[in-house]
């Protein structure tokens, strides 16, 4: 039988909140048909949170004071590697930068929640959600229309 340790409750709260944060942003990305969607961002946020909890627990639970940032620092490196793999260059266009940035940001949020800053992590998640929604609307209404008009004008001049 497993001994229930009261320490598990904050761990489970943190992991649950990491899942919620990943779900909020992942749903937005999934709705827009982006590569890093719901499952990916939930796993990144959850995994980062879990590594931060593990890092904190190992550093402080061995009877001496260690550095809880050691394992967490490796999360940053690993996530950078994953993010770099999502960036594609083709025909003088770069695709996947926002996806790479989302992977990086969601990992940071997972680490933050894993350290116990649950409220702050959820506030940042809401801020990121709002930024994605607002900037998507701005891009759709102003920037893409302007670029399309410019391309149409250039094609007309060639003829």
What percent of the chain has pLDDT above 70? 86
Backbone angles phi, psi at 95, to 5 degrees: -120, 150
Q: Which residues pair with 88 in a beta bridge?
A: 95
Average pLDDT over residues 22-51: 92
51-100 tens-digit pLDDT: 999 888 777 766 667 777 888 888 888 888 888 888 887 777 878 888 88
Residue 7 has pLDDT above 60, yes or no: yes
Where in the chain are the domains?
A: 8-127
How many other CB atoms are there within 10 angstroms of residue 85's CB atom?
Answer: 12
Most confident of 4-8, 59-63, 119-123, 152-156: 119-123
Average pLDDT over residues 11-36: 92
Distances (CA, A) of 59 to 52, 69, 137: 10, 9, 45
Give the per-residue pLDDT at 150.
61
Give the per-residue pLDDT at 157.
61
Helix (H, G, I), strand (E, B) or coil at 63: coil
Contacts of 37 (CB under 8 A, 6+ apart): 26, 29, 30
Give the per-residue pLDDT at 156.
60
């Amino acid at each position: 039988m497993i001994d229930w340790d009261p320490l598990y409750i904050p761990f489970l709260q943190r992991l649950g909140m990491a899942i919620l944060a990943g779900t909020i942003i992942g749903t937005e990305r999934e709705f827009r048909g982006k590569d890093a969607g719901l499952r990916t961002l939930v796993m990144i946020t959850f995994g980062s949170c879990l590594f931060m909890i593990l890092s904190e627990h190992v550093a402080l639970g061995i009877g001496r004071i260690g550095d809880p940032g050691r394992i967490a620092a490796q999360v940053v490196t690993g996530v950078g590697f994953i993010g770099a793999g999502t960036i594609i260059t083709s025909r003088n266009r770069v695709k996947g930068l926002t996806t790479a940035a989302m992977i990086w940001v969601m990992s940071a949020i997972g680490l933050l929640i894993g350290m116990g800053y649950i409220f702050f992590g959820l506030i940042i998640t809401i801020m990121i959600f709002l930024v994605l929604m607002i900037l998507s609307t701005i891009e759709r209404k102003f920037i893409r229309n302007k670029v399309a008009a410019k391309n149409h004008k250039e094609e007309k001049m060639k003829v």
